[in-house]
Structure 1
Amino acid sequence: MRKNYIREKKIYCSNDYMEVDIYALNGESRDKGAKRSKKVKVSEPKQKNLNDKNAKRYFTQKVHANFKADDLYITLTYTNSTLPKTIEEAEKNIQNYVRRLKRARKKQGLDELKYISVVEHKSEQEGDEENIRVHHHMIINSGLDRDVVEELWRHRKKKGEKEKKIGLVNAVRLQEDYASGLTAISKYLVKDSRGKKRWTCSKNLKQPVCRTNDFKYTFRKIEQIAKQPIDVAYWENQYKGWTIKDKIGGYEARYNEYTGWSIYIKLRRKE
């Protein structure tokens, strides 16, 4: 049958983090007897530019699906003399850095490297692609000592040459708390900037999974909820064992003149 209805889409990222999209579908077909879909992997967006809204959402989901407290958050910079002339050169530097990290982990008998990397760049002047300022952010799985991780940010040296440091690098361990955990790091990395951000990741990362339900909410109910201030108790009752991740960035109600109201929620497991 074809009918306008409200879809609930739950996106499972980890045991402690879940996102919920509630939105209208107009004129779509649905199976009258079906209640919930099976879990399926979330499709990766073609756009990996973090200036894109869908890419930002997926990036945050991917981070929470694969990393945890005690993993490392790394910031990598350049000196004026080592600053890459092109984005391609900057990306090659990260590829070389990843290879060094992999070798170091293998030498110590550690699990395979998992990483997600962001390159952030901006031109000195608008439209100038020749003179860019660039730096990198990475999240990697734990195991390597922070001193080792920082020391590996260097250029390859020839025999007899001194070590060539690329720039400043700082590695910190992710904490459980909001200020220095995955939530804060993800929020910082996807925030709008005057420059451009692109991300990439290792192929061994897990995909978030999702499940849809087309029978849980009605148009009237969603409109009623969306027009009121956030009711944390209501959502805790809808998703037992979960609560709104944070009242500022964890809940959003929007109105579209064509489709009506939609709600987007970020949930964390109750302690």
Structure 2
Amino acid sequence: MSNTLYITGAGVSAASGVPTFRGEDGYWRIGSKNYTPMEMATRRMYQTRPDEFLAWYYHRFASYRDHGPNEVHHWLADKNLITQNIDGLDGKAGNQNYIAIHGRLDLMTKFHEQGEPVDKHIAPWEQVDESRLSESLLEIFAIPEQGPMLYRSFKPFVLLFDEFYTDLYGLDEAQRRMLAAERMVFMGTSFSVNITQMALDVARSLNIPIEVVDPEPTHILHPDVTYHKMTALEYIQKQG
């Protein structure tokens, strides 16, 4: 197919040593002392307990920010790609036009009302002083004692559970790519997020064939689906 759209999830970054979200050691299995992961990754938590919120993301990003792309990322470097991953590894592999539909944790934006256009900046995680973690995080994200302030404080460039897709995350372009696709290949995703459901709806309505690459693939209601019960790495090795 001349126009294949690849949609990737956390399984693609597993070979780089980045835990999947729902695996045994995944992000969503590990919370803080007082909150579950589903409570942590929310706009509400950022606004009410920014110290807990930032520390949770810091520990996850700090542990993996120096990891490099794997063979799958390099294979996808020249592909039409939408990724759910926030690790930025596709960019490190050289893909200049991929869509990070859930954001990138190495970037940040001004705290703003959703839907408004804002600039992206490099997130200064390297400046964090772990000996005074909470205070340091609040300082570098410009969050005062009373909480985040609109257009003054900074927020990690990550789409949270209680937020919605906007064009800041490339939604319009993602939809255009879905509508133009002649084939969709889903790699390493559990189909538990809205963007995969959006893509499946487009595939069903336009009769676009799909492929699912996963060691334990989720069954999809679609008349033209091919399952590859294997890892993304095994799949690309078969492609040659």
Superposition TM-score tier, normalisation by shorter sequence: under 0.3
After TM superposition, the score normalised by the length of structure 2 is: 0.28
Higher CA-based Rg? 1
Structure with more relative contact order (C-alpha pairs < 8 Å, separation 6 or more):
1
Tell me which protein shows more helix as a share of its residues. Answer: 2
Tell me which protein shows more strand as a share of its residues. Answer: 1
